[in-house]
Structure 1
């Protein structure tokens, strides 16, 4: 297996594990409420966790899709943002049907804020690093 295929596989496995943990957290026996309580004691709110999750899932999906698709950078960015938004929205709205978790629109807003931060960082990387590297004139001797 070539290295790029291995990296794609690892990215996809990470996304699946991440989504699995999110949906496994809907179970009462998983112990998420205790983890969330400690996180709230440490940071004062669980919104930072949702923000971080939104950022990480967006970067990971973008990384996997940029290696998997032969599309332009911006198209890959928009597709990864759409997929990340879908995952975060499904996670929050699935809590409505669960007796052990509570739906909170602010959790969704925090996750989408993390997604927005990831998008801004990816655009900055594109504008200041990728475009400059590709537009650098090559000197031939």
Structure 2
């Protein structure tokens, strides 16, 4: 089966999973094929990506303004193992505004190195990226300003 067909099959399978499946994994297997799963990769795989994803609500259920903002300015929340309340508050703010986002945990040396390479600075969690804009540390005012500037609807504040 071609990698493109595997990806399509994985996406169809992911759409059929129950709403409780909120973690997705991506890695490259020994033969060089990219693998996607809701289960952790085999133990011999040392480098993989783990992403928290929202339940599949379907893009058509989102308001037009939210869909448009998400296409142009995707949102990523960077968290860590011991982040606690600030990360919880960040997730709650995004959920209250109805903002679709992906979550990346910075728990490995590779994850931290990737963050440094991408943003040119030491990671601090939580960090919110909206398109190319970045805000480190949870701040309701600063995070709302980033989301407002990107065109995300205000939601309940």
TM-score range, shorter chain: under 0.3
Q: Which has the higher strand share?
A: 2
Q: TM-score, normalised by structure 2?
A: 0.25
Determine which structure has more spread, i.e. the larger CA radius of gyration: 1
Larger RCO (CA within 8 A; separation ≥ 6): 1
